[in-house]
Amino acid sequence: MTPHAPVVLDIAGTTLNADDRRRLAHPLTGGLILFARNWTDRRQLVELTHEIKSIRPDVLICVDHEGGRVQRFRTDGFTHLPPMRVLGELWHTDGNGGPGSGALTATDAATAAGYVLGAELRACGVDLSFTPVLDLDHGSSGVIGDRAFHRDPRVATVLAKSLMHGLLLSGMANCGKHFPGHGFVKADSHTEVPVDKRSLKAILADDARPYEWLSTSLTSVMPAHVIYPKVDERPAGFSDRWLKDILRLQLGFTGAVFSDDLSMEGARRIDGTLVSYADAAKVALNAGCDLVLLCNQSTGDGRPVDDLLDGLAESLTQGGWTPDPDSEARRVALLPQAAPLTWDALMHHPAYQRALERLP
């Protein structure tokens, strides 16, 4: 039995097939990420998450569900959450309460958004949403854009912490992304390899500040598939300089580190060479990631998922990567610690009803 289960994979449809069940039972599988293609309605989602947990009770069921344009479930009662930029704009609206009242209104709205987001997902069996986005809105990144709270790292940090408080109230952990910052570069790491030529000093003084200020609040972090050549030739998610030296030692982060999707173009080339998913995963794990994601590869025959699992298993036996002794504990710590409210109970819960009223 492996001492750690680092792989977060996906499934093709709205129900599990034989290959999905086999992969979920693999000892290296520690998580599963859901997409809109895995959704029909709430009943189907609840049945799906229940079956997943019946196979692997400790598997971490995840989703990208931030609000705005990144929200996987939008129908059958799910609240349409605003993009995070709306909260940043609310910060500057003083209203009738005098100077500063906009900031207080915005932080309360952010907590409400986090609570609604987490409570609705948990009622359907989802354990973790990859949120909040901590990237700063420099105005140049199309892939980040209105997903960011604000340009000012101080405002972004306070609003993110408020949203994380809401998640905590719902019983859900959090994931700050994309360390040390994806908002400055124009290129989309899904299709290109972005390069940020700023100095380490400039990045730490600006885009990375939320990670420093939230070091005791963040339960997980996802690094960017961005190269910062003045710091390291490798993207941050494959760089022990970024993950071990800067994130953990210098900024004091103690939670779990997820790689971003290994199928993205920003993850496919390491040191200028096109690598396999298994090799990319091995580099990420050795660099300091605790978990690695491979998304949208289960469709068709799903061979890339099997190649990743088999390749990592072989590499483990051959000493190609060695699990950090704390990695499995960090993964397990992301699982909810209490049972969620059912959907019907949530709809009548006073805290949930009040949170809905406070959404912008």
The distance in angstroms from the start CA to the end CA of the chain is 48
The verdict on whether residue 72 carries a ligand-binding annotation is yes
Query: Known binder of ligand: residue 147?
Result: yes
Alpha carbons 99 and 101: distance in angstroms, whole number: 6
- Among residues 108, 190, 240, 245, the one annotated as catalytic is 190
Identified catalytic residue from 137, 207, 260, 324: 260
Letter string b/e over residues 77-105, b meaning 16 or more CB atoms within 10 A of that residue's CB = ebbebbbbbbbbbbbeeeeeeeeeebbeb
CA-wise closest residue to 1 among 27, 36, 29, 34: 27
Q: Are 347 and 98 in contact (CB under 8 A)?
A: no
Residue 324 annotated in active site: no
| Radius of gyration (C-alpha) of the chain in whole angstroms | 20
**Residue 241 labeled ligand binder:** no
Tell me which DSSP letter residue 155 carries. Answer: H
Spatial distance between the Cα atoms of 289 and 323, rounded to a whole number of angstroms: 10
Longest dimension (CA), the chain: 66
Told to judge if 58 belongs to the known catalytic residues of this protein, a careful annotator would answer no
Residue whose tokens read 């140049």: 140
CA pair distance 159, 84, nearest whole angstrom: 9
Please check if 26 is assigned to a binding site. no
56 is in an annotated binding site: no
Per the annotation, binding residues for substrate are 64, 72, 147, 177-178
Residues with active-site annotation? 190, 260
Per the annotation, binding residues are 64, 72, 147, 177-178
